[in-house]
Amino acid sequence: MALTQAGTYKAASLLMGLDATMVSELLEGLSPEEIQEVAMAMAQIEASGGIDTRKGEKILQEFCTKLRKSSNQGLDTKRFFNETLVNILDKEKVEKIQSQVKDIFEKNNPFKPILSATPYELVLALEKESASVIALILSELEPKKVQEILPLLDKELCSKVVWAMTKPVQMRNNMKENIASVIGRRLEGFKGETVAEGASDTLRNLAIVLSESEKEMRDQMIEEIKTRDEQTASTVRDLMVTWEDIPNIANMSLQKGLQGVDNKNLAIALHGADEEIEQKIRSNISERAAAALDEEKMLMQPPLKKEVLDAREEVVKPLRKASEEGTLRRME
């Protein structure tokens, strides 16, 4: 005889408060179809934030006082599958139930729009939120996406968020869902928007414009910036030619710039470099220099990240000097 809808809900509520052994005993009298219904009801209850305390106690009392569990921690759905269902149903039925339960969780998961949002959209949606709220949202994301988001935050806020992530606040499911829903609605309204460029992006764009200007005009603009902020002027000057610009530098200019670069430094600089940059450099050094470069790469220890960055700066320095002198040529 099939369970009624009310009976299924009560059975699911009861099972979520018992251990696996007792669950197995209680399920022995049910058919596979009835077990499937109970499992689906458990998934729906869990996806909606769990059982209301008063209602749960009433159901437990209704079944049997002896079956009441002293601990507040109930049996989660995953454990229910692993320890109970697999011992009662065949593998195919268990997989079918698991698939249906997964669909229920995805449908009811308030974090779904957050998980699929881009880092830039999330930064917009999290604007003006507290560090603890941002930390809560980031804790639901893949580490790679978190790494992309953190640099987009204000430096002070970023530090607070990182600290908050080391001290997660315990929060009820319904509170987490409310926060996720608010952020989700913001994401819907932010479609098509982008985060404003950071200072470094703005300076890089300015540097590109100046690098393509006449030397006299460029020097005048740099000097104007220098009178206001010497550090900013130095940053703009450095950003006129970067490691990433190498593929766009004319061969003759690159060859001249590479003449004074030590092979060891060049080998370190090319560690983990983009293939396009490495090929550009190799095509502008002699066969003998290329052989010496390969030998250096074979003999050297894997360099530290700082060593790689420092070596790349050494490679770029002659190119920057040529740019300042107005002799650096770029590819059309």
Rounded to an integer, the average pLDDT of 137-163 is 83
pTM: 0.44
- Identify the pLDDT of residue 231: 84
Percent of the chain past pLDDT 90, that is, above it, reads 23
Per-residue pLDDT of 93-117, as tens digits, reads 666 666 666 665 555 566 777 877 8
| Tokens representing residue 131 in the block | 């560090």
3-class state of residue 330 by DSSP? strand
Contact 22, 79 (CB under 8 A): no
Amino acid of residue 100: Q
DSSP secondary structure string for all residues of 164-197: HHHSPPP--HHHHHHHHHHHHHHHHHTTT--PPP
Answer positive or negative: Cα dihedral of 16, 18, 21, 23: negative
- Identify the pLDDT of residue 64: 45
Buried b (16+ CB within 10 A) or exposed e, 180-205: beebbebbeebeeeebeeeeeeebbe
Percent of the chain past pLDDT 70, that is, above it, reads 66
Rounded to an integer, the average pLDDT of 167-171 is 71
- Which pLDDT band holds residue 200 (cuts at 50, 70, 90)? low
3-class state of residue 77 by DSSP? helix
Rounded to an integer, the average pLDDT of 266-277 is 93
Rounded to an integer, the average pLDDT of 175-195 is 72
Contact 261, 314 (CB under 8 A): yes
- Identify the pLDDT of residue 71: 40
Residue that wins the pLDDT comparison between 192 and 249: 249
Cα angle, residue 117 at apex, residues 112 and 123 outer, rounded to 5°? 120
Per-residue pLDDT of 46-83, as tens digits, reads 666 666 555 555 555 554 443 334 344 444 555 555 55
- Identify the pLDDT of residue 267: 94
Rounded to an integer, the average pLDDT of 33-50 is 71
- Which pLDDT band holds residue 154 (cuts at 50, 70, 90)? confident
Per-residue pLDDT of 222-256, as tens digits, reads 888 888 888 888 888 888 899 999 999 999 999 99
- Identify the pLDDT of residue 68: 39
Given a cut of 70, whether residue 138 has pLDDT beyond it is yes
List of residues 6+ apart from 208 with CB closer than 8 A: 239, 240
Give CA–CA dist 3/39, Å, rounded.
Answer: 13
Select, from the ranges 59-73, 191-205, 267-281, the one with the highest average predicted confidence (pLDDT): 267-281
- Identify the pLDDT of residue 268: 94
Taking all residues of the chain, what is their mean pLDDT, rounded to a whole number? 76
